[in-house]
Amino acid sequence: MDKHRRTFLKRAAGGAAAAVASSGAGAFPRREELPLPPNAIGMLYDSTMCIGCRACVDACKEANDMPVEQPAKFSDWNQDTWDTAEDLSGRTLNVIQVYADGTKEHKDEVENGYAFVKRHCLHCVDPSCVSVCPVSAMIKDPDTGVVTHDRDACIGCRYCVYGCPFGVPQYEFHDPFGQITKCQFCIHLQKEGRLPACCDVCPTGASLFGLVEELQKEAEQRLAAKPGEPYVFPRGKLGDDKYPPHEAPLPEYEPYVYGVTESGGTQVRYLTGVPHEKLGLPEVQAASFASIAEGMQHTLYKGMIAPLALLAGLMYFAKRSTRQDSDDED
Which residues here bind ligand SF4, judged by CB under 6 A? 50-56, 59-60, 63-64, 93-94, 96, 116, 118, 120-124, 127-129, 147, 164, 166, 168-169, 182-186, 196-198, 201-204, 206-207
- Residue 27 beta carbon to ligand SF4: minimum distance, rounded to whole angstroms: 24
Q: Which residue type is seen at 120? A: H
Read off φ and ψ for residue 57, nearest 5 degrees. Answer: -70, -45
Angle between helices 305-329 and 3-22 (to 10 degrees): 140
- Residue 224 beta carbon to ligand SF4: minimum distance, rounded to whole angstroms: 23
Chain centroid, CA 2 distance in Å = 38
- Residue 264 beta carbon to ligand SF4: minimum distance, rounded to whole angstroms: 9
Helices (H), ranges, the chain: 3-22, 55-63, 128-132, 159-163, 187-191, 197-201, 212-224, 289-302, 305-329
C-beta closer to ligand SF4: residue 169 or 210: 169
C-beta closer to ligand SF4: residue 12 or 128: 128
- Residue 247 beta carbon to ligand SF4: minimum distance, rounded to whole angstroms: 16
CA distances from 15 to 5, 18, 19, 113, 310 (A): 15, 5, 6, 46, 8
- Residue 41 beta carbon to ligand SF4: minimum distance, rounded to whole angstroms: 10
C-beta closer to ligand SF4: residue 48 or 70: 48
d(C-alpha 309, C-alpha 315), whole Å: 10
C-beta closer to ligand SF4: residue 233 or 317: 233
- Residue 281 beta carbon to ligand SF4: minimum distance, rounded to whole angstroms: 11
CA distances from 178 to 79, 173, 175, 232 (A): 21, 6, 5, 44
d(C-alpha 10, C-alpha 1), whole Å: 12
C-beta closer to ligand SF4: residue 64 or 324: 64
d(C-alpha 253, C-alpha 271), whole Å: 7
- Residue 100 beta carbon to ligand SF4: minimum distance, rounded to whole angstroms: 16
C-beta closer to ligand SF4: residue 12 or 294: 294
Give the sheet arrangement for strand 106-107, strand by strand: 95-100, 113-119, 106-107
d(C-alpha 147, C-alpha 123), whole Å: 6
C-beta closer to ligand SF4: residue 12 or 60: 60
- Residue 273 beta carbon to ligand SF4: minimum distance, rounded to whole angstroms: 13
Chain centroid, CA 47 distance in Å = 17
C-beta closer to ligand SF4: residue 209 or 317: 209
Per DSSP, 74 falls in state: G
- Residue 175 beta carbon to ligand SF4: minimum distance, rounded to whole angstroms: 18
C-beta closer to ligand SF4: residue 19 or 208: 208
d(C-alpha 104, C-alpha 98), whole Å: 11
